[in-house]
Amino acid sequence: MRCTAPMGVLFTLVSLLELAVTLRIAAFNIRTFGETKMSNATISSYIVKILSRYDIAVVQEVRDSHLVAIGKLLDELNRAKPDTYRYVVSEPLGRSSYKEQYLFLYRPDQVSVLDSYYYDDGCEPCGNDTFSREPAIVKFFSPFTEVREFAIVPLHAAPTDAVTEIDALYDVYLDVQKKWDLEDVILMGDFNAGCSYVSSTQWSSIRLRTSPAFQWLIPDSADTTVTSTHCAYDRIVVAGALLQSAVVPNSVGPFDFQAAFGLSKQLAEAISDHYPVEMTLK
């Protein structure tokens, strides 16, 4: 049989093709991410190393209203090659003087942002809104994966309101469907969906859990915490037949950066008290 390329070259071409058509996505609660954390060279270097694993990363617990820390983070992510990453960031969100932002980091050579909006969860000054930090939703176009258009709904739920907020993500999904005529949606973040915040008896009252339209990719048995607790706080939930079928088997779970990088417990906890949760789309 005639062959025009060495077997090793063919394997290389196949590997490059596989890399080109997969998309790694993560949600990462970086505890109190701001100028102080980015000013620490050791901590910031590991944050950059972790986030560089992903084509899209949704960072929660961002406290950087002047975008100084985010600017430093982008400088580091783009140090080797300009424009490797771009970002979308929400306004500071919260009912009190304590506010957080959602930060979407993405590789523009892999995906593009089509649209974004804030979910309207009610009158915040009136005290009848649903979420402590309402989702800031982003719609992406991904030319290299089986699912070309999808939205990401982030949530960092208030611990004491976790059951109510997780349940309300069902309404957020319906809103996304109506606004963009879109079935394929990833809901992800620190839902505080475990241990004392969501008991085993409360799951039956959560529509996002009981509806067959949603697949929960991170199981209740997972541990997404860096500390000594064993809790599945951080979750990834996917909806839409095309999106669900595009999830690469065995690609989903927490990324234990402490074990991966051989870090001390003290340094790992200084980075965050949560591990990222990640998935890959084909």
- Encode pLDDT of 151-161 as tens digits: 999 999 999 99
DSSP state, residue 91: P
Region of poorest pLDDT, from 116-130, 139-153, 258-272: 116-130
Find out whether 59 and 33 touch, Cβ atoms under 8 Å: yes
Report pLDDT for 218. Answer: 98
Q: Provide the whole-model pTM.
A: 0.92
Distance CA 191, CA 155 (A): 6
Q: Give the orientation angle of helix 68-77 with respect to helix 41-51, to 10 degrees.
A: 60
What are the residue ranges spanned by the domains of the chain? Answer: 23-281
Mean pLDDT score, 218-237: 97
Going by pLDDT thresholds of 50, 70 and 90, the confidence category of residue 65 is very high
Going by pLDDT thresholds of 50, 70 and 90, the confidence category of residue 70 is very high
Catalytic, 100? Answer yes
Mean pLDDT score, 118-147: 92
Helix, strand, or coil (residue 122): coil
For residue 12, pLDDT beyond 70: no
Look up the CATH number of domain 23-281.
Answer: 3.60.10.10
**φ, ψ dihedrals at 243, nearest 5°:** -65, -45
Report pLDDT for 210. Answer: 98
Report pLDDT for 21. Answer: 78
Going by pLDDT thresholds of 50, 70 and 90, the confidence category of residue 125 is confident
Quick: pLDDT tens for 167-177.
Answer: 999 999 999 99
Going by pLDDT thresholds of 50, 70 and 90, the confidence category of residue 212 is very high
Distance CA 138, CA 149 (A): 11
Report pLDDT for 128. Answer: 81
CA distances in angstroms from 210 to 65, 96, 214, listed in the order given: 37, 32, 8
Catalytic, 230? Answer no
- Catalytic residue (one of 61, 76, 134, 156): 156
**What are the start-end ranges of the H helices in 144-226?**
162-180, 207-210
Mean pLDDT score, 18-42: 92
76 closest CA partner among 28, 25, 99, 42: 42
For residue 209, pLDDT beyond 60: yes
For residue 123, pLDDT beyond 70: yes
Report pLDDT for 113. Answer: 99
- Catalytic residue (one of 61, 76, 100, 165): 100
Distance CA 225, CA 194 (A): 11
Q: Given strand 56-62, what is the order of strands in its sheet?
A: 86-89, 101-106, 56-62, 23-33, 277-281, 253-254
Report pLDDT for 59. Answer: 99
CA 20 distance to own-chain centroid: 21
Q: What angle do CA 246, 250, 255 make, to 5 degrees?
A: 110
Report pLDDT for 11. Answer: 44
Q: Share the mean pLDDT of the chain.
A: 93
Find out whether 256 and 117 touch, Cβ atoms under 8 Å: no
Report pLDDT for 141. Answer: 99
Mean pLDDT score, 137-143: 99
